[in-house]
Amino acid sequence: MNRRTFLRNMGLGALGYSLAPIGYRGIARSAASSADTKPNFVIVFTDDQGYGDLGCYGSETIRSPRLDQLAKEGTRFTDFYAQPVCGPSRSALLTGRYPVRSQGWSMPESEITFAELLKTVGYTTGCVGKWDVSNRRDIKGRVPNDQGFDYYWGTLGANDGGGVKLYDNREPIGVDRDMAGLTKRYTDKGIGFLKANKDKPFLLYLAHTMAHSVIDATIKFKGKSKGGLYGDVIEELDYHTGRLLDAIDELGLRNNTLVIFATDNGPWNNMQEILRNKHKGAVAWGSSGPLREGKGSTWEGGVRVPCIIRWPGHVPAGRVSDAIFSTLDFMPTLANLAGYEVPKDRLIDGADQTALLLGESEEGERDHFYYFCRNALHGVRKGKWKLLLPNRENYYKYVKDRGSNEMELYNLESDIGEKRNLAKQNPEIVSEMLDLIKAFQWPAKLPDTGIIPKKRNVTSISTKLGKDDSRTVCSQVAGLSLAGLCRFPLFGGLPPRSSFDFPYFAQRCRPGDG
């Protein structure tokens, strides 16, 4: 069944089976999804903003009064996860599926976005800003207007060259090299969408280009922060987010609009020299705060990001939550709140976090979270424990801190900076976490992980293990021969507790999922 057929049959009971994600418990449909109380949704998604780059997350150099106020009016999440880089983070957010399924920059037409699903229950949908899941090109079937958005204004790619090619819906309208004014332009378009659709349920997905790669601020903000040019950019983002929130209030939409603020990945603090040269010596990268490393890594600094959610009268105000929460969870959570059906013909990795949002649960519905870099499964978190597999080599090239070649286990409750490896002291916990690694349900094929796809850069290796033909090993390791792979222990059994020689690329796979 293709995507369009599925959407056409929504709500008709045409699909008779369901694939639930690992770690998803499920709760009853909320009364909030009834026709007369459907909330509006506004998602503000910034780019390359660090965990430590807002006042409410501990910054002492960047002022963020509007987002700090938003945190007081809603719930601030301290253990919220995106993905390590831009495109994969966006495909995960839009579909509720890890990038090994939703395919990141190469997100195919067959993926179903929450925008498409919201349209099936009467929502008008708008996307403003950075798309970045169609290989940064105008490809029929994969641009916003083909993926569920009634309105689009923004760029399909990034600004690494100092400019963005803009589109008004499907029409290219030129290249904008004024990076200082881009945040205001996006916000203006977002406010325009709110005004045009204030009398009906809507989704606005506002995905800022700032603070990615080539950054700048207007005269009003330039040189005003204590955080260098980067700090100026974040303070301007804060100001314009405030303008958007003011527009929601002025239109009388405050009490019926769920606002989400988050970012796509950690800061580019591991590429300082290149960014400094691009910006004439200015500081152009953010801070991970207490977290280790930054963008492109599977350390906490690469994937744990700020998230603030406000919905007056529903989401508790002034609350701080340490529940494990992810962009993956938006798909099923919005389903509960808006009343659409989550796709049943594919595995959804997100969990319905309605109870967490509404203050009915402290721990939420997400039992654990997997850490991916490209197609490599680097590790898993469950509760306070995080396990990273040894021999992790599939990093983005700018990531400098690649850890040890050993199994690494961290207690994130007492060691948020991932400094003390406790693997050898806790073999039982390691064993339990390895069971979670083994349980991950892999897709039949692994996607191309490039921004622009190559002819073929993915290798899948399937090998029967013993008598169990259902166990398959999948690998995406450039230049690795099957003989080389076989030197390492596979998932036929856990490694001896005295030995932590366990390759990150030996993965148990269930063919056909995803």
Contact by Cβ (8 Å): 149, 369: no
Residue 511 has pLDDT above 90, yes or no: no
Q: What is the mean pLDDT of residues 396-414?
A: 95
Of the candidates 507, 341, 446, 466, the residue with the CA atom closest to the CA atom of residue 88: 446
C-alpha–C-alpha distance, residues 189 and 311, integer Å: 22
Q: What is the mean pLDDT of residues 348-375?
A: 97
Kindly report which listed range (35-44, 291-300, 402-411) carries the lowest average pLDDT score.
Answer: 35-44
pLDDT, tens digit, 9 for 90 and up, residues 139-164: 999 999 999 999 999 999 999 999 99
Q: Where are the domains of the chain?
A: 3-367
C-alpha–C-alpha distance, residues 118 and 477, integer Å: 38
Would you state the pLDDT for residue 36? 59
pLDDT band at 394 (very low <50, low <70, confident <90, very high): confident
Would you state the pLDDT for residue 241? 98
Residue 34 has pLDDT above 80, yes or no: no
**Percentage of residues in the chain having pLDDT higher than 70:** 81
- CATH number for 3-367 (one of 3.40.605.10, 3.40.50.2300, 3.40.720.10, 3.40.50.300): it is 3.40.720.10
Residue 175 has pLDDT above 60, yes or no: yes
Contact by Cβ (8 Å): 122, 338: no
Please tell me the chain's helix, strand, coil percentages from 3-state DSSP, rounded to the nearest 5.
25, 20, 55
Q: What is the mean pLDDT of residues 121-132?
A: 98
Residue 388 has pLDDT above 90, yes or no: yes
CA dihedral 81, 84, 88, 91 (to 10 degrees): 20
